Amino acid sequence: MSADKKKMTRGELGLQIIIFGLGFFYAIVYYVAVPGIVDLQAVSDQLLAYITVVLTAAFAIGIINLTRVHTINIKRKRATWRYSVVLLISLYVMAIFSMIASPFELDPNSVVIPASVIQFSTPIWGFLYYKILVNINASIFSLLGFFIASAAYRAFKARSLESTILLVAGLLVILGQAPIANLLWPGFGIIRDWILAFPNTAGQRGILIGAALGIVVFSVRRLFRYPW
Amino acid sequence: MFELIPGRTSEVVLLIIVLIAIYQATRLASKRKLKTRGIPGLERINEWIREAAKLNRPVFFTPGTGSTGAPDTLAALALLEYVAKHCVEYNASLIVANSDPQVQQVTEDIVKSAYVKAGREKEFATDMVRYISTRQFAYAAGVMGILRREKPAVNFFVGDFQAEALQIAETGRTEAIYQIGGTTNPDQLPFFATTCDQTLIGEELYTATGFLSSDPEAISELVGSDAGKMLAILLILAGAILVTFGNSILISILGL
């Protein structure tokens, strides 16, 4: 995204060649096959498998970043340093038990880790995962219900023509969804179906077509020019 | 030797036509210095960052839960480059939170580069760019925590978002933070529109960086993108009219 045009450095040129080469290759693989000579799809799949290796390395660096950020918090006794202690303990305790006794355990045949340790760790991992992690995850997810209610309250205020249309359409969809409203007048269900199938789908497709074209322009720009 | 994969012939032809249309429109726009439509809110990004610096509050940026392979994330990273550059320029502190470890590496590099380019490498701190978690709701909780505890003045949350978007946006709204949201996910866009001060809808996310850039070529690319959109609209109209009159030739061609 450089505003001023500069001459490419050697490193930038190298990166440009790699970016263009890989981008062009993946575009070709999607459209073209070379039967009998090379299985382009297999080459592409193999290249994608390397991404897993990069991802694993990146994950380790991510954990290092997390540890560093929270260690700094604790060292400097920042206002929230206690949370950092909880986070670091949770992170490493869970990691250790997951490595010893979980579906992804490192030594399922007890070659290095004694069977007694695995036996001892299995219920602890189960407790940490199913009784704590899953429940916390569900709790955070369920907050969404309240957030939707407050967002809907704000959105459904007739301040302008657009918000009034939104309010009316929203109410009709809610009524169409509620069994009692359909009992009172079956037309609510038909109106709801029409709103969802036509204006809603048309709007969504418009956004998707625009986004797809945006992706084309954005990708071409990135394929042909570095730095961006 | 080469063989087009069946069912994708029309896609190749359409792609080539769209690319030619984009290229021609871009060339025309560059020559005639055409102007493009504005994107509301984007003009005020600088003003908001300056305001955050004045208030001595940080600027917050998160590219969502997508990986580096998601186009939305890539567009968000391009916007981060702009935001980081201006945060350095106006002395506003920047916090970036990530869900994907690969994106974490890229964002760290972008923010660090902004400081290096300004000759202020020493001011870059490790905790400016934070990795939260790959777990969707752990990430959401982490971001909500940052918004509540560190009270940024501006919240940029553009990129690939799922259900966590509303949680982040509502928390920002409760804390009275200026919010710019952007995604192409139609399921999440209504939430962005109701909770953000400015929303980048669909392709605006991809064109935002071109619009913000003073590069006339980048701006003319927006005109090119609009030309592609016109082509799509014409195809849809032609398809609708033909099908209405019982002619399915366009469907047959596009099905090739």
Do residues A185 and B185 touch, judged by C-beta distance below 8 A?
A: no
Q: Which part of chain B is CATH 3.40.50.1980? A: 49-196
Task: For domain B49-196, give the fold.
Answer: Rossmann fold (3.40.50)
- Of B22, B11, B38, give the one whose Cα is nearest residue B227: B22
- Span A18-62, pLDDT tens digits: 888 888 888 889 888 888 888 888 998 888 888 888 888 888 999
Count of other CB atoms within 10 angstroms of residue A102: 17
Portion 182-241 of B in contact with A at CB < 8 A? 184, 186, 189-191, 193-195, 201-207, 209-210, 212-215, 218, 221, 224-225, 228-229, 232
pLDDT at A1: 43
Interchain pair B209, A1: CB under 8 A: yes
- DSSP 8-state secondary structure symbol assigned to residue B5: P
Q: What is the mean pLDDT of residues B103-113?
A: 94
Set of chain A residues whose Cβ sits within 8 Å of the Cβ of B225:
213-214, 216-217
Taking CA A66 as the corner, what is the angle to CA A65 and CA A69, rounded to the nearest 5 degrees? 80
Contacts of A83 (CB under 8 A, 6+ apart): B145
Portion 159-178 of A in contact with B at CB < 8 A? none
- Strand locations in B51-192 (E): 59-64, 94-98, 129-131, 154-160, 178-183
Rounded to whole angstroms, the Cα distance separating A205 from B22 reads 21
Q: What is the mean pLDDT of residues B17-29?
A: 77
pLDDT at A2: 45
Phi, psi angle pair for B33, to nearest 5°: 50, 50
Interchain pair B166, A147: CB under 8 A: yes
Q: What is the mean pLDDT of residues B86-111?
A: 95
* Inter-chain contacts counted by CB atoms under 8 A, chains A and B: 170
Q: Residue A228: pLDDT above 60?
A: no
- Work out the minimum CA distance from A180 to partner chain B, whole angstroms: 26
Dihedral sign, CA of A18, A19, A22, A27? negative
- Span B44-81, pLDDT tens digits: 888 999 999 999 999 999 999 999 888 899 999 989 99
pLDDT at A227: 52
- Strands B3-4 and B154-160 turn out to be unpaired
Question: What are the beta bridge partners of residue B160?
Answer: B64
A63 lies within 8 A of chain B by CB: yes
- DSSP 8-state secondary structure symbol assigned to residue A8: P
Interchain pair A62, B131: CB under 8 A: yes
Do residues B130 and B95 touch, judged by C-beta distance below 8 A?
A: yes
pLDDT at B137: 94
pLDDT at B119: 94
Q: What is the mean pLDDT of residues B214-243?
A: 77
| Most confident among A4-18, A103-117, B102-116 (mean pLDDT) | B102-116
Q: Residue A111: pLDDT above 50?
A: yes
> Which band of pLDDT confidence, cut at 50, 70 and 90, is reported for residue A104?
confident
Of A148, A151, A218, the CB nearest to B206: A218
Interchain pair B202, A210: CB under 8 A: yes
| Lowest mean pLDDT across A3-7, A65-69, B33-37, B137-141 | A3-7
Residue of A nearest to B203 (CA): A211
Interchain pair B205, A65: CB under 8 A: no
Torsional class of B97: left (φ above 0), alpha (ψ -120 to 50), beta (otherwise): beta
Check: complex ipTM more than 0.85: no
Model-level pTM? 0.86
> Which band of pLDDT confidence, cut at 50, 70 and 90, is reported for residue A3?
very low
Do residues B115 and B121 touch, judged by C-beta distance below 8 A?
A: yes
Q: What is the mean pLDDT of residues B26-51?
A: 77
Portion 33-52 of A in contact with B at CB < 8 A? 33-35, 37, 51
Q: What is the mean pLDDT of residues A84-110?
A: 93
Residue of A nearest to B171 (CA): A147
- Work out the minimum CA distance from A136 to partner chain B, whole angstroms: 9
Q: Residue B214: pLDDT above 70?
A: no
Question: 3-state DSSP: chain A helix, strand, coil percent, rounded to 5?
Answer: 80, 0, 20
Q: What is the mean pLDDT of residues A120-129?
A: 95
